[in-house]
Amino acid sequence: MRVETQLAGEPNAELAASLDALHRDVYANNMAPYWVVDRSVAHDEDRQVQQGRKAIPFIWKYQRQIEPLLRRSAALIKTETSERRSLVLVNPGLAPQRATASTLYVAYRVNDPREIMPPHRHSPNAIRLGLTGVTNFTGVEGENIVFGPGDLVLTPNDTWHNHGNEGDEPAINLSVLDLPLAETLNSLYFEHDYTEEEEGVRIRRAMQTERFPPNYSQRVYGSGGFLPRFVSHHRGAGAASPMYVYRYEVMREFLEKCRDWDGDRHEALMLEYVNPTTGGPVYKTMTFFMQMLRPGERTLPLKQSANLVFSPFEGAGYSMIGDKRVDWERFDTVVVPGETWCQHVNASDKQPAILFVASDEPTLKALSFYQKHGKNDNGDIIRLT
């Protein structure tokens, strides 16, 4: 790194050469300097220590980009050669790392008719959100779940699960994982050798034995305010919500009931998916919401330390992210990195817009890093959390 400095207003070539040599030796020994030579960008180490790859605001368009590539992959990639057929959304600011935000990984998956992948498990927590098709399939720890558009399915850390499609039409779903966080914490693993014990012998199986009745999650946890004491709520590793599927019909009905409420000026109407045994988020690392923007609704600008990824499920509109306008429509995905101002606008004066939102807010709160700021009608910044 070439250094130029001044002493008494004149360049000091001897000092500059010595500093150059010092910096070369520091880097050669796999270290980095943290001192200020001058306040230019190149030499301000307060800025240097914050540099590196950072997620940037970005949008992936479903109809124009994602869906055509998924259809092509379905024609070319078969289950005989691959257990999954997914497109991972790679943030240009983080590439080549497969991450959509610094802690979140988003992928779109297509399953052809009547294909079921074998079970696997991994350290990242994950969800699936149905987009198209009514016969998406996920089996989780012996609970077989068939789901459709808007239904949210959990596959918690360390739970055996498999995916597929039980119907005669292709089905597409959206996945969100905390995989980049697990990778950063050196906790990432995948296992594919699923076995079950039969007469004292471990046997590899292509499907889990069904151990729970159909609609188990909805039957046990689907009535808010009531928690059965006659079942065990410790499922999988016991670190996530034991309710493995959240139906969109219930969520949408709740939003509609709340449609005439004032709502929040910065977030409109937001409903969070929660663990029914604790009232907290479904995972300790991620949380999820459905957000309704009523016809013509415009939120006030909001900035938070949490990373957000949102996918419009109904309607169309635009967001001001930083100083840029981002137009979105159904099934697109938009990333809003932490500490980025964001404001949403529903473009329709007749129909609501519904956004599915993923956030790493629980991670930030657990580490006491979470903050939320907003702007009021006058443009003044106010601390919200």
How far is the C-alpha of 285 from the C-alpha of 274, rounded, in Å?
A: 13
Q: Give per-residue pLDDT as tens, 147-192.
A: 999 999 999 999 999 999 999 999 999 999 999 999 999 999 999 9
Nearest to 353 by CA among 290, 309, 271: 290
Q: Give per-residue pLDDT as tens, 224-237.
A: 899 999 999 999 99
Residues 6+ apart with CB under 8 A from 58: 91, 92, 93, 334, 335
Confidence of residue 27 (pLDDT cuts 50, 70, 90): confident
How far is the C-alpha of 100 from the C-alpha of 95, rounded, in Å?
A: 9
Q: What is the rounded average pLDDT of the residues 46-67?
A: 85
How far is the C-alpha of 183 from the C-alpha of 37, rounded, in Å?
A: 35
Q: Tell me the two tokens of residue 250.
A: 């219930």
Check residue 2 and give its pLDDT. 47
Q: Are 103 and 176 in contact (CB under 8 A)?
A: no
- Window from 63-72, 76-85, 346-355 with minimum mean pLDDT: 76-85
Question: How many helices (DSSP H) and strands (DSSP E) are in the chain?
Answer: 7, 27
Check residue 44 and give its pLDDT. 65
How far is the C-alpha of 302 from the C-alpha of 267, rounded, in Å?
A: 8
Check residue 78 and give its pLDDT. 78
Q: Are 117 and 163 in contact (CB under 8 A)?
A: yes
φ, ψ for residue 121 (rounded to 5)?
-150, 160
Residue found under tokens 């034995």 = 209
Half-sphere exposure of residue 70: CA atoms within 13 angstroms, side-chain side: 24
Residue 16 clears pLDDT 90, i.e. is over it: no
Residue 30 clears pLDDT 60, i.e. is over it: yes
φ, ψ for residue 252 (rounded to 5)?
-65, -40
Check residue 26 and give its pLDDT. 87
Residues 6+ apart with CB under 8 A from 39: none
Bridge partner residues of 354 (DSSP): 292, 314
Q: Give per-residue pLDDT as tens, 36-48.
A: 666 665 656 666 6
Check residue 1 and give its pLDDT. 46
Residue 355 clears pLDDT 60, i.e. is over it: yes
Q: Quick one: DSSP state of residue 208?
A: P
Residue 35 clears pLDDT 90, i.e. is over it: no
Q: What is the rounded average pLDDT of the residues 12-20?
A: 86
Nearest to 308 by CA among 377, 355, 240: 355
Q: Give per-residue pLDDT as tens, 105-138.
A: 999 999 999 998 999 999 999 999 999 999 999 9
Nearest to 352 by CA among 251, 250, 272, 269: 269
How far is the C-alpha of 382 from the C-alpha of 300, rounded, in Å?
A: 11
Q: What is the mean pLDDT of the chain?
A: 92
Give the pTM: 0.90
How buried is residue 117: exposed, middle or buried, by Cβ count under 10 Å (0-12/13-18/19+)? buried
Confidence of residue 51 (pLDDT cuts 50, 70, 90): low
Confidence of residue 10 (pLDDT cuts 50, 70, 90): very low
| Cβ density class 153-177: b for 16+ within 10 Å, e for less | bbbbbbbbbbbbbbbeebbbbbbbb
Q: What is the rounded average pLDDT of the residues 2-25?
A: 69
Residue 7 clears pLDDT 50, i.e. is over it: no
Q: Quick one: DSSP state of residue 96?
A: T
How far is the C-alpha of 151 from the C-alpha of 131, rounded, in Å?
A: 8
Check residue 49 and give its pLDDT. 58
Q: What is the rounded average pLDDT of the residues 68-81?
A: 85
